[in-house]
Amino acid sequence: MVPFELRRLRMLMEPEPGNPFEVEGVLNPAAARGPDGNLYLFPRLVARGNYSRIGVARVEFDVAGEPVGAERIGIALEPEAPYELRADGGGCEDPRITFVETIGLYVMTYTAFSTRGPRIALAVSEDLVRWRRLGLATFEPYEGLHFDEVNNKDALVFPVAVPDPNGQPAMALIHRPLYPGMDARDTARQPTPRAVDLDRESIWIAYCPLAARSHDDLQHLCHFRMHHRLAAPAASWERLKIGGGTPPLLTAHGWLVVYHGVSGSPVSEPAGRARGLRYSAGVLILDPNDARLIRYRSADPVLSPELASEREGTVANVVFPTAVDRRTDLGQPDRIDVYYGMADARIGVARLDLPNSLPPELRADLPAGWV
| pLDDT at position 265 | 81
Vertex 35, ends 33 and 36: CA angle to 5°?
90
Q: Are 336 and 249 in contact (CB under 8 A)?
A: yes
Maximum Cα–Cα distance for the chain, whole Å?
Answer: 61
pLDDT at position 361:
62
* pTM beyond 0.75, yes or no: yes
**Which residue numbers in the chain have pLDDT < 70?**
1-2, 212-216, 267-275, 361-368
pLDDT of 368 reads: 63
- Respond yes or no on whether the N-terminal peptide bond of residue 367 is cis (omega within 30° of 0): no
Residue in 233, 238, 173 with CA at minimum distance from that of residue 201 = 233
What is the per-residue pLDDT for 88? 87
* Whether domain 6-353 has CATH 2.115.10.20: yes
CA angle 360, 365, 371 (to 5 degrees): 125
pLDDT in tens, 260-285: 999 998 755 554 344 599 999 999 99
Sequence ranges of the domains in the chain: 6-353
How high is the pLDDT of residue 362? 64
At residue 227, the pLDDT reads 97
Q: What are phi and psi of 205, to 5 degrees?
A: -125, 135
What pLDDT shows up at residue 273?
44
Of the candidates 238, 259, 280, the residue with the CA atom closest to the CA atom of residue 324: 259
